[in-house]
Structure formats: C-alpha cells, structure tokens
Amino acid sequence: MTFNFSEEQLMIQQTAREFAQSEIAPTSIERDINAEFPHVIVKKLGELGFLGMMVSPDYGGAGMDSISYVLAMSEISKVDASVGVILSVNNSLVCWGLENYGSDFIKQKYLIPLAKGEKLGAFALSEPEAGSDATNQVTEAKQEGDFFIINGIKNWITNGKYADYYLVFAQTNREKAHKGITCFLVEKGTEGFDQAKKEDKLGIRSSDTCSLTFTNCKVPRENIIWEEGKGFNFAMNTLNGGRIGIAAQALGIAEACLEASVKYSKQRKAFGTEISNHQAIQFKLADMAVKIEAAKLLTLQAASLKDAHKSYTKESAMAKLYASKIAVECALEAIQIHGGYGYVREYLVERYLRDAKITEIYEGTSEIQRIVIARHLLSENK
Ligand code: CAA
C-alpha cells in the first residue's frame, strides 16, 4: 500500500514540522525537567488550527482529514511528545466526540471555542478502580429535576489542570451496568468540581496529568453528550479514533530515535572509524527503519479507513499496539547506540524512552488493544 499525500496534507505536515522546530524544540528540555505546561505553545497551535484539526469549519475547526492529523501529530511528537498528547486529547477525544455526538447546543457553546483553540478539553473516563476495566465506574450522577449531581473521583486525566471543559463519565443507573453510564460536559469552575493532585510522571512531563474530584457537582441535563446511558459507547467510539492519535504520537517518538541515532552514529568514532561503519550499528538502524515504516503504514491505514467512513476499530488498535511497541524498542536501541551519552539528558534519547512508555498504557493498554483485535478476529470469522 502506498500513500500519495495531497498538496494540502504535505503543507500541513511542513507547517507542523517548522512550528515544532522553531517554537517547541527550544524549550522542550527545560519543560521536561520542570514539568512545565506549554501554555504559549498550545495557544499558538490553537491559532494555527491544530487544536480542532478535523472539526468542520462550521464549528470553528480546520476541516482537515485524519491523514493530515496523523502527519501533524507525528511531526509535533517527534520534537515533543508532551505537546503531542495535549493535541491528541483535544482533537480526537474531545472535539471529535462533540462534533459527532454532541447536541447543537453543545456544539455551539462548547465545540466552537475548543476547535478554535480558545478553550482546552479533557476526557475523564479513568478512575482509581477503573482503568482498563472502564465499565467499573464508581462516579455517580443522580438526577434532580433538570440537573444531575455528580460525586466521585477521576484519575490520570490529561490536560486535567489546565482544561476548561471536561467530558466526565458517571453511572446514572447502576442496575444497567455499562448501559447506565452517561457522559457529561462539566465546565471548570463549576461548584463541587476540583482538580486534585498533579502527577509527577516518568515521561511526557510537560503535559499535565491530575486527578479530579466531584462533590455534589451540579450539571444541567443539557450537558449530557449523546444520550443518557450512552456514555460507555461514546467513550469506546471516541477512543477508537484517539488510538490513531496515540499511534501517530508513538510514531513521531520512534522517528526521533532513528534520526538521532543516524546523526550520532555518523559523528561518534570507535575503533578508528565512525560507529555507523560497524555492522552492529547498521543492523540496529535498519531494524528501526523497518519497524517505523510498518508502524507508519498501519497508522495511515487506520486514518484512511476513518476518512472513508469505514470501520477502523481493529485497525486503530493494531496501529496503536504496534507503534507504541516499536517506539519503546527504538528508544531502547537509540540509547544503546548512544552508549553513555544516551543515558544522560543532554542527548534527548533518554527522554524518548520515558515518553514512549506511556503510549503502551494510555487510551487502552497494549493488552486492551490485543483484546479489541482478537474480539474482531473472532467475530469476523464466525
Ligand atoms: N469500539 C466501539 N464499541 C466498543 C468497543 C470499541 N473498541 N469496545 C467495546 N465496545 C462496546 C461493545 O460493542 C458493547 O456495546 P453494546 O453494549 O452497545 O453492545 C459495549 O462497548 C461493552 O463492550 P464489552 O461487553 O466488550 O465490554 P468489556 O467490559 O468486556 O470490555 C473494553 C471493554 C474493550 C475492555 C473496554 O473497557 C476498554 O476499551 N477499556 C480500555 C479503556 C481505555 O482505553 N481507557 C483509556 C482512558 S482515556 C485516556 O487514556 C485518555 C488520556 O488521557 C490520554
């Protein structure tokens, strides 16, 4: 399969590449060390249309396709995967979800500012006891007239501290199990809603991750996304697309590992020659390149199916599973090629490993992706 990118797709890729080099790279090391959120960068990305890439211009978005999204996500993540995940959550989990399942009221009031980059979104599904087992929602929302009262805790929420709008999942009818889960849009500042502990993470340190608490938090019925009881289906459908974004993020990290390794191996000398002349290094570079190409094809395949409005559940799981696996492998090899220099901050590759690891965990662990893929295989072959 080959992908002939359109002029527009290539232009978006180029814009993302230039922005990443000029605006993101200069502060990435410092932000990683200090776990500092890239407020200015996110604002500028919003002005360029990168926060609502796939949203229709009718709702303030850039009206781009998923292929363009993959190209931009991997260019940005190649330079700084923390910025990548901030974009990914806003684009694929929040904006895409609201455009496809939100009421007109929700789209007018919330989607437009999110897509324009004036506001930032977060997706609050996970809980202390509901990570992979996402149906096990303890957070509850009880109806009181035209309102719902939310009580509970959400964990590991990307954009948790700095988002303005949160998609919050809660049980509205426990007897119905996952069919009793409902998604609400909750605005920051709503009484009873607080951001709690900010996590001190191994990687993607410049993105913010925190827990959220809801104590008698009153949300109007009109802020329900899709319908009461449809929250779990909404989360699953949205995550299918989110996984394409994370695959693109992982791909970007893997590409960064290869670029750094090629460059370093042509400079570093050992045994009287550049280490790139040693077959041991050449084999590592070749293996990394093959893995990256395969991950790219899987990710673009999932994106092109999504753009063609065909089923992409299995393909997005495959893309995320594979791209995240090879991102970790490429980062380990990049460190090995860099030797002692690879183990210190100065050469960036140690950060690539720390950043890569999370791509095997969030938006469904690798084990969950295998479950999704296997269930599809088994139901296809009935
Ligand atoms: N796409 C669409 N629908 C799906 C689906 C998918 N991939 N997976 C399950 N569903 C649907 C099923 O069709 C079923 O629908 P109906 O009841 O309408 O028929 C419903 O969901 C329940 O499915 P199951 O009975 O299969 O549920 P389960 O509990 O056995 O397993 C699971 C579901 C696949 C394991 C699911 O819980 C899952 O994906 N878990 C991982 C959750 C996850 O990815 N969390 C990420 C948190 S968000 C995040 O990380 C964002 C961030 O900050 C970066």
Question: Do residues 297 and 340 both lie within one domain?
Answer: yes
Question: Do residues 258 and 374 both lie within one domain?
Answer: yes
Q: Is residue 273 within 8 Å of 347, Cβ to Cβ? A: no
- CA gap 223, 98 in Å, rounded: 11
Model pLDDT, residue 316: 98
The domain boundary, picked from 120, 150, 167, lies at 120
Q: Using the mean position of ligand 1's atoms as its centre, give its distance from the Cα of residue 127 in Å.
A: 14
CA dihedral of 24, 29, 32, 38, whole degrees rounded to 10: -30
- CA gap 244, 300 in Å, rounded: 8
Mean pLDDT throughout 74-79? 98
Instruction: Report the CATH number that the domain containing residue 104 is assigned in CATH.
Output: 1.10.540.10
Catalytic annotation present for 363: yes
The domain boundary, picked from 62, 92, 120, lies at 120
First to last CA, the chain: 28
Question: Do residues 167 and 290 both lie within one domain?
Answer: no
Question: Do residues 362 and 271 both lie within one domain?
Answer: yes
Question: Do residues 129 and 111 both lie within one domain?
Answer: no
- Is residue 125 in contact with ligand 1, taking CB distance under 6 Å? yes
Model pLDDT, residue 25: 98
Classify residue 194: in a domain, yes or no.
yes
Classify residue 1: in a domain, yes or no.
no
The domain boundary, picked from 120, 140, 158, lies at 120
| Ligand 1, pocket-test mutation among 86, 135, 158, most atoms within 8 A of CB | 135
Classify residue 96: in a domain, yes or no.
yes
DSSP track, 30-77? HHHHHT---HHHHHHHHHTT-SSTTS-GGGT-----HHHHHHHHHHHH
Q: 336 lies in which domain range?
A: 232-380
Question: Do residues 249 and 223 both lie within one domain?
Answer: no
Question: Do residues 115 and 158 both lie within one domain?
Answer: no
Question: Do residues 116 and 131 both lie within one domain?
Answer: no
pLDDT digits (tens, 9 = 90+) for 203-242: 999 999 999 999 999 999 999 999 999 999 999 999 999 9
**What residue type is assigned to position 337 of the chain?**
I
Classify residue 2: in a domain, yes or no.
no
Classify residue 311: in a domain, yes or no.
yes
Model pLDDT, residue 295: 98
Classify residue 71: in a domain, yes or no.
yes
Question: Do residues 264 and 217 both lie within one domain?
Answer: no
Residue 163 vs residues 10, 157, 179: alpha-carbon distances, Å: 30, 10, 27
- Lowest mean pLDDT across 18-27, 125-134, 289-298: 125-134
Question: Do residues 283 and 181 both lie within one domain?
Answer: no
Mean pLDDT throughout 76-92? 98
pLDDT digits (tens, 9 = 90+) for 160-206: 999 999 999 999 999 999 999 999 999 999 999 999 988 999 999 99
Q: Using the mean position of ligand 1's atoms as its centre, give its distance from the Cα of residue 3 in Å.
A: 30
- Over 80: is that where the pLDDT of 24 sits? yes
Question: Do residues 263 and 367 both lie within one domain?
Answer: yes
Q: Which ligand 1 atom is nearest residue 232's CA?
A: 21
- CA gap 215, 151 in Å, rounded: 5
For the whole model, what pTM was predicted? 0.97
Classify residue 69: in a domain, yes or no.
yes
- Over 90: is that where the pLDDT of 1 sits? no
Question: Do residues 371 and 273 both lie within one domain?
Answer: yes
- Is residue 163 in contact with ligand 1, taking CB distance under 6 Å? no
Instruction: Report the CATH number that the domain containing residue 374 is assigned in CATH.
Output: 1.20.140.10
For the chain, how many structural domains are there in total?
3
Classify residue 107: in a domain, yes or no.
yes
